Amino acid sequence: MIIRQQIYDELKTLKVPADKTFGKALLPVIVRSIYQAGAWSELEVVFDCENQISGASVAVQYAQSIFEGMKAYKVNQDIPQIFRPLDHAKRFNDSAKRMCIPALPEELFLQAVNLISKLYENHIPSQTGCALYLRPSAYATDYSLAITPSEKYCFSVHVAPTLPFANEMISVLIERQNKRSALGGTGNVKTAGNYAAGFGALRRAQQVGCATNLWLDPVYNKFIEEFSLMNFFIYYEGILHTPKLQSSFLPGVVRRSIISLTKDMGIKVSEQQIDIDKLIKIIQSGEQIEAFSTGTAAAVTPIKSFKEVDGTEYIISQEIGRISKLLKTQLNDIHEAKAEDRFNWMQNIY
Ligand SMILES: Cc1ncc(COP(=O)(O)O)c(C=O)c1O
């Protein structure tokens, strides 16, 4: 592959944007592949500003667009490593299938995330808690208002270095008003429209001091599903509980990893429906509970309380629980090469 000298020059002199908000410090060079005439092209390295897409494209008009979120780490390691890239490649293609986007060869996906991590190797932060966030996406680029799947697509990988998340507990709004998805809908894949559908609810959550929304099931409006960007866990009576997967919410890669780590510690994991009102009664009874969320962005985040939209608050715990802390540390130690990677989750970028 030929990479232009101008791109190497940019990478050499690059200054990371100062905005510390998650995902805002986007870097200017991307890796991409174009789909046309029935095939994905070889990868190329271009400036993001060269990757034009029209407001009248099928992606913008009809949201035929998918993405992944994953991280490359360079803490305590000479060669940067990506966490579970094949799992992300597979979920990317699950999303592609659901949104009628041509499957991307897994090999091409892996080459792309490795290549972009290599190009930015000197910009992967090496302080604990930091990483390079990778955002592979594929979107319909036909210049057309026809309501049919596009014939042309772009696959690209953007990156943004991330800083450590504050080690704070969060409050979450029980989202009883809106639904994020339906059974048989698109909740279990990462497609653009799912996220826009939650923005209004996020505003309401922030107004009552909550970091995110706790989404309930679309049929009975009472079984916990997930957060807007994370999966849900509670630990009580010696068992780790998490909602059983169904078509309305995302099978998180970190969720799967936490289940493996927990079972490996000899702790039982239950994947069943969790009724929010029964859980509130358990909290009110004073029983000792830990709750936390999991996701690529912040790994494991302990939950302090659930809130209702009128401000009523159910305090789960004021302190980070023992199991949450243990799981957070174990996962972090694998990311940062402080513990043996016994599940073979970390992949060298070359
Ligand atoms: C809706 C939703 N739920 C859960 C997650 C957590 O998934 P993962 O652990 O793969 O980051 C994410 C993030 O990708 C998400 O967008």
Provide the percentage of residues in the chain whose pLDDT is more than 90: 95
What average pLDDT does range 51-56 have in this prediction?
96
Ligand 1 nearest-atom number relative to CA 253: 10
The domains spanning 5-164 and 170-335 adopt the same CATH topology: no
- Å from CA of 229 to ligand 1 middle: 5
What is the pLDDT at residue 164? 85
Ligand 1 nearest-atom number relative to CA 180: 1
Whether the predicted pLDDT of 1 surpasses 90: no
What is the pLDDT at residue 97? 98
- The one-letter amino acid code at 26 reads L
Concatenated DSSP letters for 189-228? S-BHHHHHTTHHHHHHHHHTT-SEEEEEPTTTS-BEEEES
What is the pLDDT at residue 307? 98
Ligand 1 nearest-atom number relative to CA 228: 1
Q: Kindly report, residue by residue over 17-50, the tens digit of the pLDDT.
A: 888 888 899 999 999 999 999 999 999 999 999 9
Ligand 1 mutation target, pool 191, 216, 231, most atoms within 8 A of CB = 231
DSSP code at position 14: -
Look up tokens 């969790």; give the residue.
274
| CATH number of the structural domain 170-335 | 3.20.10.10
Q: Nearest residue CA, atom 12 of ligand 1?
A: 229
Concatenated DSSP letters for 152-189? -EEEEEEEEEEPPPP---EEEEEE-S--S--TTSSTTS
Whether the predicted pLDDT of 290 surpasses 90: yes
How far apart CA 350 and CA 348 sit, in angstroms, is 5
- How is the chain split into domains, by residue range? 5-164, 170-335
Whether the predicted pLDDT of 171 surpasses 90: yes
Ligand 1 nearest-atom number relative to CA 231: 4
- Å from CA of 285 to ligand 1 middle: 31
Beta-carbon contacts of residue 239 (< 8 Å; ≥ 6 apart): 267, 268, 269, 270
Ligand 1 nearest-atom number relative to CA 88: 10
Strand partners for 131: 162
What is the pLDDT at residue 166? 80
- Å from CA of 190 to ligand 1 middle: 8
Which conformational region is residue 129 in: left (phi greater than 0), alpha (psi within -120 to 50 degrees), or beta? left
Q: Kindly report, residue by residue over 215-263, the tens digit of the pLDDT.
A: 999 999 999 999 999 999 999 999 999 999 999 999 999 999 999 999 9
pTM for the whole structure: 0.97
What is the CATH topology of the domain spanning 5-164?
D-amino Acid Aminotransferase; Chain A, domain 1 (3.30.470)
- Binned at pLDDT 50, 70 and 90, residue 197 comes out as very high
For residue 227, give the nearest of 193, 250, 253 by alpha carbon. Answer: 250
Q: Nearest residue CA, atom 15 of ligand 1?
A: 229
* Cα three-residue angle 116-119-125, rounded to 5 degrees: 90
Please list every protein residue whose CB sits less than 6 Å from any atom of ligand 1: 69, 190, 226, 229-231, 250, 252-255, 294-296
What is the pLDDT at residue 21? 85
Whether the predicted pLDDT of 94 surpasses 90: yes
Question: Taking all residues of the chain, what is their mean pLDDT, rounded to a whole number?
Answer: 96
Provide the percentage of residues in the chain whose pLDDT is more than 70: 100
Q: Kindly report, residue by residue over 300-342, the tens digit of the pLDDT.
A: 999 999 999 999 999 999 999 999 999 999 999 999 999 999 9
Provide the CB-side half-sphere exposure for 155 (13 A, CA).
28
Ligand 1 mutation target, pool 296, 331, 335, most atoms within 8 A of CB = 296
Provide the CB-side half-sphere exposure for 345 (13 A, CA).
27
What average pLDDT does range 147-154 have in this prediction?
98
- Å from CA of 59 to ligand 1 middle: 21
From first CA to last CA, the distance across the chain in angstroms is: 16
